[in-house]
Amino acid sequence: YKMKLFYMWLRFLGLALLCVLTAGIGFLWLVPFVHVCMGRFYEDILENTQTATNHTTSEME
C-alpha cells in the first residue's frame, strides 16, 4: 500500500502546482479532494484487512 499512497501523493503534488498557477483558488477544490481520497484509501485498506482476517479465521475452524 505504500507505493499506492506514494503515487497518490505525487498526483496531489502535481495538482497543487496547478493550483498555485490559479493564485491559490484551486486549493478550494483540492483540499477536500485530498481528504476524501485519503479517507477512501483508508477504507480500502481497512476492508482488505478485515477480509483477510476473516479468511484466516474461517480456515482455522
Q: DSSP secondary structure string, 36-48?
A: HHHHHHHHHHHHH
Q: What is the chain's pLDDT, residue by residue, as a tens digit (61 residues)?
A: 899 999 999 999 999 999 999 999 999 999 999 999 999 999 999 998 888 777 666 665 5
Q: What is the pTM of this model?
A: 0.76
CB proximity list for 37: less than 8 A, separation 6 or greater: 8, 12
The per-residue pLDDT for 57 is 62
Question: What's residue 56's pLDDT?
Answer: 64
Retrieve residue 28's grid coordinates: 478550494
pLDDT at 59: 61
State the Cα–Cα distance between residues 19 and 29, nearest whole angstrom.
Answer: 9
| 15 touches 30 (CB < 8 A) | yes
- Cα distance between the two ends of the chain: 29
